[in-house]
Amino acid sequence: MTALRLRDPIHGFLHADRLEAALIGSRPLQRLRFIHQLGLTFLVYPGAEHSRFSHVLGAMHLAGRIFDALTDKRPDLVAADERDRLRRRVRAAALLHDVGHAPFSHSAEDRFAGGIDHEEMTRRLLASPEIEEVFARRGDGVGRDEVIDLLAGRVPPELRFLAQMVSGELDVDKMDYLLRDSLFCGVRYGVYDLDRLIDTLVPIVDPETGAVGLGVEEGGVHAVEALVLARYYMFTQVYYNVTGKALEHHLTEWLRGAGRFWPDQPDAFLAEDDHSVLAGLRASTDIHARAVVARAHFPLAFETREHLAPEESAAFEAVLPELAARFEPGALLIARSSKDPHRLGPSRVLVAHPDGRLEPMEQASHFIRHLTRIDRYRIYARPDLCAEVARTLRARFAP
């Protein structure tokens, strides 16, 4: 039964049942209203004001869509008396998957006290009395612990596809954030054919593991390629934007200088969001804080090409100690943007051909097979040192 209806700019009306509505109203979910989906990217793309909150709602919606598509195509995939409960379980997991994100999302994920990460904080928040009570009152057969297990990938082999829907090669996280980030940044790089992709998803038994995973019919290969290309270009053009990376590193430097860590206890963590961090930045006279607040970031002194070979990366790494010794601490920002956005991961995406043959996507797609890793270094320098840093690096690394 629908308990809550919400209008979303990507997916239209979203419907939430009693459990989902209660989770949406909880403190961990409401906090996500005040966490920018793309960190400080709103200082680069003015429209990028969207939040983690809207993203997890979209992910929940897509989890339901994909579950329905798979079970309609394969009615024997799950027992009939388990279908509704498993559907609600995977939707709840998708809704809750991001609650442990720190302020400004991925910009300063390494600042958790105790050396934990946002996934561990998610687990701790879900283990809190508030979330326990929500499941106890509204779960209707869906338990909190089984949602935690699903998020951690602890599912039997015949339900591996559920875990992959939330965190995997073709998960609802990517499917939503690419379209959402593209829309709010005002770009078209993240647009792909969502309907075609969902329509061609199919559960496949992996012959190597025996697990039932998410695969794609042969007719969906180009839809997967479009998703991969969208992710590739969003990384190169938006997520690794030259100004955005500078601001991200200024934020990290300020946090380090101030000795500020994200609390590792749930109640204290819930008090930290983008607004609390911005208040600290505004009150600070530190050069890195002012760089963010006044958008007066260090200028770019040098950048490598976008796709370095491993030996080129090693050569550049060898120069970094020399730079650190030559220029005073805090005068440089060293940013490395390194990612394989086209790699589909260790679980493999299998393509089901009409003749029954199964083929890994990397073999079925000539395009995906030939994409290379993004690996780029950028050096930003204090304005008075920028020219000197540029000369030093150009002498060692010709454009």
Which listed residue (118, 250, 297, 342) is catalytic?
A: 118
- Copy the structure tokens of residue 295: 């958008």
CB 160 within 8 A of CB 211: yes
Q: Nearest Cα to 331, choosing from 292, 298, 300, 285? A: 298
Separation between Cα atoms, residue 176 and residue 55, nearest integer Å: 7
Q: Which residues of 272-308 are buried (b: 16+ CB within 10 A; e: fewer)?
A: bbbeebeeebeebebbbbbbbbeeebbebbbbbeeeb
CB 245 within 8 A of CB 199: no
Separation between Cα atoms, residue 273 and residue 28, nearest integer Å: 11
Separation between Cα atoms, residue 45 and residue 29, nearest integer Å: 25
The full DSSP string for 117-186 is -HHHHHHHHHTSHHHHHHHHHH-TT--HHHHHHHHTT---GGGHHHHHHHSSTT-HHHHHHHHHHHHHHT
Separation between Cα atoms, residue 238 and residue 255, nearest integer Å: 23
Q: 375: buried, middle or exposed (CB in 10 Å: 19+, 13-18, 0-12)?
A: buried
CB 63 within 8 A of CB 51: no
Q: How far is CA 380 from the centre of its chain?
A: 25
Q: Residue 25's CB: how many other CB atoms inside 10 A?
A: 12
CB 263 within 8 A of CB 269: yes
**Is 366 labeled as catalytic in the residue annotation?**
no
**In terms of C-beta distances under 8 Å and separation of at least 24 residues, what long-range contacts does 6-10 make, across chains too?**
6/57, 8/54, 8/57, 8/58, 8/61, 9/183, 10/58, 10/176, 10/179, 10/180, 10/183
Catalytic residue numbers read: 118
